[in-house]
Amino acid sequence: MKIISFNKNYLWENSVIVCSLRREGGLEMKLKIIGAVLLVGLLSAQEKGITKGKRMEQHLEVATLGAGCFWCVEAVYQQLDGVEKVESGYSGGSVKNPTYEQVCSGRTGHAEVIQVTFDPSKIPFKELLEVFFRTHDPTTLNKQGADAGTQYRSVIFYRSNEQKAIAEQVKKETDAAKIWDDPAVTEITPFTEFYKAEEYHQDYYNQNSYQPYCMMVINPKLSKFKKEFKNRLKK
C-alpha cells in the first residue's frame, strides 16, 4: 500500500512534522498521517541514538598498559566493570606497523600492550592502575615469569599530565604498601603510537582457553584476580 503521497512541505519542530496534504478523506488520509507521524518518530529515535552514542564516546577515556604477555593482561581487563573495549597491540618502539615476529625479536623497541577504552565514571584511571600493579610483577625488569625480553617490560604510556601524575602516585603507593618485596621498575613514559596486533591475538583467552598456555598461566592469574577484585567485576 502506498502510504505517503503528499506535497513535500515539511516543518520539523520538537519531533513533530506538519504536512500540507492534498484534501483526501477517509481511511487513506488517516493512514497517510499515521505514516508521517511514524516516520518522524523513527527518525527522531535514530537521531537520539546517534547523539547518545557520541556523548558516550566523548565521555570515554583510553589507557595503554604493558604488563608482560598481552594475552594475560587482556583477559584480566576484559573482566572489569566500566571497561568498554580491550585491544592487544604494540607501543613504544621505533618501527611503524610492526609484526608480532618483529616485536618478539626485541629489536623494534616495542612493548606488548593493551589499549583499554573505559568509562571513568565507573572505573577511574587510578583503579585501572591498582589492578595493573597487583596482577603482574612490576619489580622484574623486562621479564614476566618465563617471558623475557624488553617487549615484556612493565610500562604505563600516559596520554596526559593527569595520567602521568596518577601513575606516579599509584607506583609510589604500591611500593609503600610493600605489596611486592622489591620496588617497582615500571616505566612511566609518554604515549606516542599504538599499533593493533594481528587479529589472532585479539580476545585470545576467550577464543583459546583450551590452549596449554591459557590453562597453565592465564587461568591461575584470573582466579587470583577475581578473588581480589570481585567487587569490580562485570555482572
Catalytic positions are 69
Which residue bears the cell 537520539?
A: 48
C-alpha cell at 110: 616495542
Sort strands 154-158 and 187-190 into parallel, antiparallel or unpaired. parallel
Start-to-end C-alpha separation, the chain: 47
Helix axes 161-176, 125-134, angle to 10 degrees: 40
| Helix orientation angle between 70-77 and 219-228, rounded to the nearest 10 degrees | 30
Of the CA atoms within 13 Å of residue 2, those in its CB half-sphere come to 2
The set of cell numbers assigned to 19 is 504536512
Beta-strand runs (E) in the chain: 10-13, 16-19, 61-67, 83-91, 111-118, 143-144, 147-148, 154-158, 187-190, 194-196
